[in-house]
Amino acid sequence: MMASMLFTAEGVTKKFGGVTALDNVSMSIARGAIFGLIGPNGAGKTTFFNTLTGLYQVDQGKFTFDDKPLNVKAPHEVAQVGIARTFQNIRLFGEMSVLENVMVGRHVRTKAGAFGAIFRPPSVHREEAAIAARSHELLEYVGLAKRAGDKSRTLAYGEQRRLEIARALATDPKMIALDEPAAGMNATETIALRQLIERIAGDGITVMLIEHDMRLVMNVCQHIAVLDYGRKIADGTPAHIQKDAAVIKAYLGGAHGEPAATGEKA
């Protein structure tokens, strides 16, 4: 069983001053799965995510990724080990073209330096061509090929979300973590997003989905973990989660509940 797990967290605890943002959280994500991490606002989803991606150091507990301890000291090492992410409040490189945004994603899998840049030996030419080719492929994949030459800040909202995903995929991740990708999307865009997520998972990349949109999470995820007040209160299949008393209480009963999210729960 464990061998098929790509990612596990064991007893992760993180405190800020006196506040315990994460309290002994454990979870595991199977290879190739679409995994959902949900919870009301302030439940600790983002903290968990930032801890895993090296922005904060854990106080206790450990992460394992791809059968090795995940022990990142700087955020840039995370992409190296094979975890790519998108951001809740889209963070594209606005003045760069759509294509260039994706090409930046290839950075971590390529190696030309300053010398190569200036003197451009054949190896660098080949590398550049490969970067451009792969980036074009990814733009096709997310349906943005036509916008390749535009500055990324000129894209529509939904397009920006998809570009972020393409950029993350360019790092050849084993796992892609999507931080509220459906936020601000309309129904049509959300359906397209769902298809994209399923396609990514179908191509063998594990997806970790942090999301508020219950419909999306319930429809697309095979496994869901629920956080509340920094603790994991439930863990299981969508069907299981929907019936879980603690989850229903957290979403309906809590003072910090989210009417919008519960309203959409189907």
Partner 1 sequence: MTTLVADNKKKLIAMLLLGVALLLLPIFAGFLGQAWVRILNITLLYVMLALGLNVVVGVAGLLDLGYVAFYAVGAYTWAMLASSHFNMHLPFWVLLPLGAFLAALAGLMLGAPVLKLRGDYLAIVTLGFGEIVRILMNNFDKVGLPWSDATYNITNGPRGITGIDGISFFGFNVSKGLEIFGLQLSGLQLYYYVFLVFTIISVIGVWRLQHSRLGRAWQALREDEIAAKAMGINTRNIKLAAFAFGALTGGLSGGLFAAMQGFVSPESFGLLESVMILAMVVLGGMGHIPGVILGAVLLAAMPEVIRYVADENMQHKVFGTVLIAPEVLRNLIFSLAMILIMLFKPAGLWPSPEKK
Report how far residue 15's alpha carbon sits from residue 11's, in angstroms, rounded to the nearest whole number: 13
| By the rule CB under 8 A, 68 interacts with partner 1 | no
- 228, β-bridge pairs: 231
Position 145 contacts partner 1 (CB under 8 A): no
Footprint (CB under 8 A) of partner 1, residues 31-60: 53
Q: What is the rounded distance in angstroms from the CA atom of residue 228 to the CA atom of residue 101?
A: 35
67: DSSP letter: T
* CA separation for the pair 33, 250 (Å, rounded): 25
Among positions 91-120, residues that touch partner 1 (CB under 8 A) are 91-97, 99-100, 103-108, 110-114, 116-118, 120
Cβ-proximal residues to 231 (8 Å cutoff; 6+ apart), any chain? 23, 24, 25, 44
| Residue among 45 and 167 whose Cβ is closer to partner 1 | 167
Structure token pair of residue 259: 């009417």
**Residue placing its CB nearer to partner 1 in the complex, 56 or 87:** 87
Q: Does 243 bind partner 1 (CB under 8 A)?
A: no
Q: Tell me the closest approach of the beta carbon of residue 133 to partner 1, in angstroms.
A: 14
**Phi and psi for 38 in degrees, rounded to 5?**
-125, 175
The single residue among 128, 137, 198, 258 that binds partner 1, judged by CB under 8 A, is: 128
Q: Which residues bind partner 1 (CB under 8 A)?
A: 53, 74-80, 84-85, 87, 91-97, 99-100, 103-108, 110-114, 116-118, 120, 124, 127-128, 131, 149-151, 154, 167, 171
